[in-house]
Chains A and B, each alone.
Chain A
Amino acid sequence: MKLLRCPINGPRPVSEFFYWGEMRAMPDPNVADDAQWADYVFNRNGAPGIKKEWWHHMPSGVWFVVERDTERDDVKRTYLYGQESA
């Protein structure tokens, strides 16, 4: 089973985690036009690449960011939100 390193709890089997999906920046709802908003709500970047994703360690409730090569399923690094530089 794949291992994933939770920044707080360390490496655990991926079955202990919940995958939310790729992080997407919400456009300002008051500025975005309908098309831009629909693009944000529905469209995804489905092509392989190194993506920033939201993952959640269920037993501890920790949300964190995973940078992962989705083609090789290879985790580059994980960190708490906002601590990217750390």
Chain B
Amino acid sequence: MNAPLRTSPLHSAMSKLTSQWKSINQMQVATGIGTANEEHEKLKSIALTDLSHRKRCGLKGANAEAWLKSIDIEPPAGINQWAPLGACSLIARLASSEFLLEDNVGQNYADRVRTQLGRGAPGVTPVLRQDAEIALAGPRVNELLLQTCSVNFTALDLASRPIVMTSIIGVSVLLIPGAWRGAPLYQIWCDGTYAPYLWDQLRKIAEELGGGAVGLDALFAENTQ
């Protein structure tokens, strides 16, 4: 039996916009929206795209940290911090004893950990992560966040690799600030069942500010090579 297709929580939202698709990790991913020029214009303000196709897994519990080390995965030391994993994957420590691993294309930490953990180990509980993931990038992203979230992101010290758990327009999110070609970049994870609402609202405001939705290639071309 051939492997079934995964569907992004944002699939129908994206399919209203996009013309170019590509299958990544058994998921249809929008690689381009509208013309390259249109996308280029959006990048000058705010660009959003769907990163839900990335593979991830979660675990938590008193022994989670020790267990990860036992399989040669070094989690970040501080609470609410993230650390790079291998070439381009990441591991985030949510609060104190919960962890989220996410693979970029071509990595397989998440699958490996999920398989090894199985039904869990003493003091270690597997956590199914079916999040939606949205990437926000561009010079005006902070204005978009000021209109939707009460956290002062410009005050964060990116060198300390912080993660922020907060609420955006009423939806609980996990957020990692970063940079993209000199402009701010935010990766936002949320419960997939809230994602269509969150995505639509963010997209509308982004459009008001001169930006909008773009395909994966516009922001992360390397992912689809």
In the bound assembly, the distance between CA atoms of A17 and B164 in angstroms comes to: 15
Complex contact B172–A8 (CB within 8 A): no
User: Which of the residues A13, A16, A62 comes within 8 Å of B95, measured between beta carbons?
Assistant: A62
Known A58-B172, A59-B165, A59-B172: A13·B96 in contact at CB below 8 Å? no
Confirm or deny: B79 has a beta carbon within 8 angstroms of a beta carbon on chain A: yes
- Min CB gap B171→A, angstroms: 9
Complex contact A8–B150 (CB within 8 A): no
Complex contact A8–B166 (CB within 8 A): no
Complex contact B95–A59 (CB within 8 A): no
- Min CB gap B175→A, angstroms: 10
Query: CB-CB contacts of B162-179 with A at 8 A, as 1s and 0s?
Result: 001111000011100000
Complex contact B173–A8 (CB within 8 A): no
Known A13-B150, A58-B172, A59-B173: A8·B167 in contact at CB below 8 Å? no
Complex contact B166–A16 (CB within 8 A): yes
Complex contact B80–A12 (CB within 8 A): no
In the bound assembly, the distance between CA atoms of A61 and B166 in angstroms comes to: 11
Complex contact B80–A59 (CB within 8 A): no
Look across to chain B and name the residue whose beta carbon is closest to the beta carbon of A80.
B96
Complex contact A12–B173 (CB within 8 A): no
In the bound assembly, the distance between CA atoms of A1 and B167 in angstroms comes to: 15
Confirm or deny: A85 has a beta carbon within 8 angstroms of a beta carbon on chain B: no
In the bound assembly, the distance between CA atoms of A59 and B96 in angstroms comes to: 14
- Min CB gap B133→A, angstroms: 16
In the bound assembly, the distance between CA atoms of A61 and B174 in angstroms comes to: 12
Confirm or deny: A9 has a beta carbon within 8 angstroms of a beta carbon on chain B: yes
Which residues of A34-78 have CB atoms within 8 Å of chain B's CB atoms?
57-62
List chain A residues, Cβ under 8 A from B95.
8-9, 60-62
In the bound assembly, the distance between CA atoms of A59 and B165 in angstroms comes to: 6
In the bound assembly, the distance between CA atoms of A8 and B94 in angstroms comes to: 10
List chain A residues, Cβ under 8 A from B164.
9
List chain A residues, Cβ under 8 A from B166.
9, 12, 16, 59
Which A residues lie at the B interface, using CB under 8 A?
Answer: 1, 8-9, 12-13, 15-16, 57-62
Which B residues lie at the A interface, using CB under 8 A?
Answer: 79-80, 94-96, 150-151, 164-167, 172-174
Can you list 10 contacts pairing A with B, beta carbon distance less than 8 Å? A8-B80, A12-B150, A15-B150, A15-B167, A16-B166, A57-B165, A59-B167, A59-B172, A60-B94, A60-B95
